[in-house]
Structure 1
Amino acid sequence: MEFDTFREMIEKSDSIVFFGGAGISTESGIPDFRTNGGIYNQKNTYSYPPEVMLSHSFFIEHTKEFFKFYKDKMIYKDAKPNAAHIALAELERRGKLKAVITQNIDGLHQAAGSKNVIELHGSVHRNNCMNCNESYDLDYVLNSPEIVPQCRKCNGIVKPCVVLYEEPLDTDSINRAVDFIESADMLIVGGTSLVVYPAAGLIQYYRGDRLVLINKSETPYDGKADLIIRDSIGKALSRVI
């Protein structure tokens, strides 16, 4: 019944926006952060908790330890797009989905074929020298002979373009996300607990009456949703698209 309602909502909509979190990539084998099997709850062999190691201050003060953790726990180069990523790319191809707004840094939406992707927390596939701003891809970081990748031009540290704790989100990305959400006639939210701000606060900009939440656990926005689906995101999206 809920999938029939979901399908009808999509059919009636012409300006859909998808807002997603870590849960959309768990079906590709990438762990999330806060569930039982998530990164924050996995057995930790490092001297610091993951929340600390993913902070800007830790990156500056313990750069080598940061990169050890980052390469070990945050990179899943062999991960492939799953049914959810593929369904969203198809929805965009049909002209109904106008934007994917993601908190993920894995690049799987683009790998599935989505063109208009707003990456609120950056991407592991983009890396810049902190000194001269020279750009590098993921392979350069992974294949660096040193634990801390260094710029070929100036020997500066090559930092991943991902938003760490204590760092602000990109203003342009936030503004674009707000514009798309405000103009959407349907907002699909999937795989996010909606507790990490400021990203979670973007939902407040939606003014329509087709807010769909797809998440296996409760969120603070359940009371505002027009439809809640407690199931796999890949299953939900592939069944209706």
Structure 2
Amino acid sequence: MRKEIEQLAKIINDSNSIVFFGGAGVSTESNIPDFRSETGLYNAVQKYGQSPETMLSHSFFNGHLETFYDYYKNNLIYTNAKPNKAHLALAKLESEGKLKAIVTQNIDGLHQLAGSKAVYELHGSVLRNNCMRCGEPYDLSYIMQ
């Protein structure tokens, strides 16, 4: 294992055009559950009787608004979460000019909170919420109420 870590460190040190692709595992150290582990979001669906994919679908949102927001607020939003060592290390690599972009499935905004600027969020962010009719933005505190 030590050899692999040394090899990775050499690759990073020798590189100046890194793109990081990440997902839920990056934020688990910030106490945000992933989907598939024993404490993941797939196990939280027992209360709802639906899979996370169903709960987060547009059709479910349209047909079950109250249940959608209950699931969303209780399982996907972690207002007290802070960036962990991985987020901070990636932000440092970006500030050094080595990391060019982060492509993430995460919706928590922790990469940006750590200082990363070139973050591409494949699934959006809980920090950006807009009215589907008029496009008016609503911040997270409004959504939580």
Q: Could you say which structure has the higher helix fraction?
A: 2
Cα contact 2:45–2:52 (8 A) shared by 1 = no
Structure 2 distance, partners of 1:112, 1:43, is 30
Aligned to 2:79: 77
Query: Which residue of structure 2 aligns with residue 7 of structure 1?
Result: 9
When structure 1 is superposed on structure 2, of 113-122 and 49-58 the one drifting more is 49-58
Identity over aligned residues, as a percent?
61
Unaligned runs of 5+ in 2: none
Aligned to 2:128: 126
1:142 to 133, 137, 144: 144
CA deviation string 1:216-241 (max 9, x = no partner) = xxxxxxxxxxxxxxxxxxxxxxxxxx
Q: Of 42, 47, 58, which residue of structure 2 is paired with 1:56?
A: 58
The C-alpha deviation readout for 1:164-189, integer Å capped at 9, x for no partner, is: xxxxxxxxxxxxxxxxxxxxxxxxxx
| Residue matched to 1:93 | 95
- Partner of 2:127: helix, strand, or coil? strand
Aligned-residue RMSD, C-alpha: 1.2
Assess if the C-alpha contact under 8 Å between 2:45 and 2:51 holds in 1: no
Match of 2:109 in 1: 107
Q: CA deviation at 1:31?
A: 0.4
| Cα separation, 2, equivalents of 1:43 and 1:57 | 17
TM-score (norm 1): 0.57
Task: Give the distance between the partners of 2:45 and 2:107, measured in 1 at CA.
Answer: 22
Greater shift, 81-90 or 128-137, is seen at 128-137
Q: Offset at 1:53? A: 1.2
Supply the distance in 2 between the matched residues of 1:81 and 1:132 (Cα, whole angstroms): 33
Do the aligned partners of 1:40 and 1:50 also contact (CA within 8 Å) in 2?
A: yes
Runs of 4+ in 1 over 6 A off after TM superposition: none
CA distance in structure 2 between the aligned counterparts of 1:103 and 1:70, rounded to whole angstroms? 16
**Structure with max Cα Rg:** 1
1:78 alignment partner, SS class: coil
**What is the deviation of 1:59?**
0.4
Instruction: Supply the AA of the counterpart residue of 1:102.
Output: T
The aligned amino acid for 2:20 is F
Once the two structures are superposed, what CA deviation does each residue of 1:159-218 show, in whole Å capped at 9, x if it has no partner? xxxxxxxxxxxxxxxxxxxxxxxxxxxxxxxxxxxxxxxxxxxxxxxxxxxxxxxxxxxx
CA distance in 2, matches of 1:97, 1:49: 35
TM-score by length of 2: 0.94
How far residue 2 of structure 1 moved from its aligned partner, in angstroms, is 1.1
**Unpaired segments ≥5 residues, structure 1:** 144-241
Structure 1 residue 14 displacement after superposition: 0.8
Q: 1:123 aligns to what SS in structure 2?
A: coil
SS in 1 for 2:134: coil
Report the alpha carbon displacement of residue 111 of structure 1 after superposing the two structures with TM.
0.3
